[in-house]
Structure 1
Amino acid sequence: MHWIIQNAMLSEPGVRELAERLPRLGIPHSFHDLGDDWKLVPEANLVGNVIVIGAYAIRYEARRKGWVPGLLEVEHDHLAYVRHWGDAMLNAAASVWRFADVPLSFLPERFFCRPAEDNKLWKAGPTRRDEFLEWHAQVRSLWDDPEVESSILPDTHIVIGPLREIVEEHRFWIVGGRVVTNSLYKRGQRVIYENHSDADVVAFAETIAAHPWQPQRAYALDISVGPKRELHVIEVNNLGSAGLYAANVQKLVDAIEQMEY
């Protein structure tokens, strides 16, 4: 398989390790920039299986070229995860609204919000009511300007829910229904990369990986640990666009290479 790596991703430690390891393993690979037209520079015309490691927007090039497995895109929304994984989701109790229909007068002083779909239209996280109202009004004003094309539309769906306390955040890489490698990436507000997760966190991730419904053949699974060791799924990310943190890159490469496409 040929591995394409976007140069901009090399600032992430795990991706940098991947870039250094591929030549030692004798695996075909190349490095590219992503142009303003979302095409690779230099262009890559490849035959056979190609995996893409890059920013979310690189999916357009992977689609255009028809590469398999490409970016390993996850194309499900919040409601799909809650429907299948239920209370295992951290924000299972959150509400989903059309952006145009958010009940502004009923918003609490602080809350969590994110796009309902995995489209990275804005950064998920906690927000204050006054900040949200100002931003919401700015977005709505764009809809009245015929010369502006807003990425957030009236029908864009938004998840709004209560804030949940998180003590630790872990990322697991799921390939073919099993946990391949993992990394602690946040403790409290401190970013910390360790190739270690406690046994209960690993067991929870394995339960999700073994669930009959899976969002993709390979993906990155983010898990939260609460103050009382409550375990939940924060979100799922495209494997090709997710930081590798302190993952065991060798194990991940081996798992991806051994998959049948």
Structure 2
Amino acid sequence: MSRFSCKVCGGPAKIRSSKILAEGYRVLYLECKNLDCRARFKIDDIQQPLTEEEKIEKFGIKRLTLSSSALLIIDQQVCMKDRGILHRNNHDAEKYISELLAIWRKRELPVVHIRHISREAKSGFAPWQRGADFQDDFRPLKAEAVFEKNVPDAFIHTGLERWLRVRGIENLVVCGVSSENSVEGTVRTAGNLQFHVWVPERACYTFAKKDYFGASRTAEEVHAMAMANLNGEHAQVCGHEWLQLALKYWSAT
């Protein structure tokens, strides 16, 4: 049975399109289903905003069981910071990574730091370069795992999968840099290995680059495409509101 009635004949009506004007408030454009009427009209659709608890349920935050979860922080190394803030996105990513790290450390949950070591002598990730060191804010504690990789995918030739399996870890929260490179490569494999993966996109970032055809793409565009590649197929990509609610919920429980 149709939820909406025609303003002209009183028969059932269907939604043609809609426009969201604010949270809980949208305009619906409808058309009467009665073939003899076919009137078109619009109505305001106002819904009671969800409570914080309802949003936590809706976003499935409680389904992420922290007791069987590891936090993977990818390539938070000096050379990434040395690139500066120009031509990158998510300038608050480090803040969110730090907040996630604080929660995992407070609960004494598994934290994994991924460190890229390049085979190219001129790379900022070369082992003898300062750039290959961890940034001060993300230096691993003695109890935290460190895996070094030579390719974007942190599972290749590192022992990461075995480390997670023997500890019964099923859930991964992945953050770091770069969105379309090491983050995407690692998350793809994690999903294929049937880990349950969450990617809080505001805790990831990347830089502007040219696409295959030579067109310049902003960091926001590169990041958005990487998240689209992952979401639903290999991981659950989580937006800003999800992350804020999750951080608040985890801090309070």
Taking structure 1 as the reference length, the TM-score comes to: 0.24
Structure of higher CA gyration radius? 2
Q: Which structure is higher in RCO with an 8 Å CA cutoff and minimum separation 6?
A: 1
